[in-house]
Amino acid sequence: MDFISPTKGRLTFDEMFADIISFVQEEPDASYRLIIGTDSQLGDETCFVTAIIIYRRGKGARYYYHRDRKPFSRNLRQRIYYETARSLGVASQMAERLAENGHSDLDVEIHLDVGENGSTRDLIREVVGMVVGSGFDARIKPDSYGASKVADKYTK
């Protein structure tokens, strides 16, 4: 799975991970959050974008995204579950790699494209449960900018 960095172009997972670690090592005493979110957009095929953001609290961020298109059901519940599963898959890979490299203290959050307003409100408990049950922090709208802003930007 390749990722795109707006500043560095196309990167492999390993290259993206190395760039994240480099960013953290620039200011090792700063506070960081690693944010993963997925969004989708219906079309002839459904466009799915998973974003990874490394946020240095109060001092900026870097982000990367992976985009692909798939023939997919127009069923909202299935799309939200699939978005959540994609984010969980990437978060698991990141957590494993962080543990192997001595950075397991880095907070990992999954941002979900669901919120109290709109048609996704009935799915909140289910998808938050999936994320928390997998050992990650979950955020929903309006606090889930990883999915609703960054990933959303690249689904169009």
What's the mean pLDDT in 44-69?
96
Name the percent of the chain lying above pLDDT 70. Answer: 100
pLDDT in tens, 101-154: 999 999 899 999 999 999 999 999 999 999 999 999 999 999 999 999 999 999
**What tokens were used for 150?**
């960054």
Residue 73: per-residue pLDDT:
77
Q: Cβ contacts of residue 3 below 8 Å, gap of 6+?
A: 10, 11, 12, 13, 16, 52, 64, 65, 66
Q: What's the average model confidence in pLDDT over 29-51?
A: 96
Query: Mean pLDDT for the chain?
Result: 96
pTM assigned to the model: 0.95
In whole angstroms, give the CA distance from residue 44 to residue 25: 43
User: How high is the pLDDT of residue 1?
Assistant: 85
Rounded to whole angstroms, the Cα distance separating 52 from 92 reads 12
* End-to-end CA separation in angstroms for the chain: 20
CB-CB contact of 65 with 17 (8 Å): no
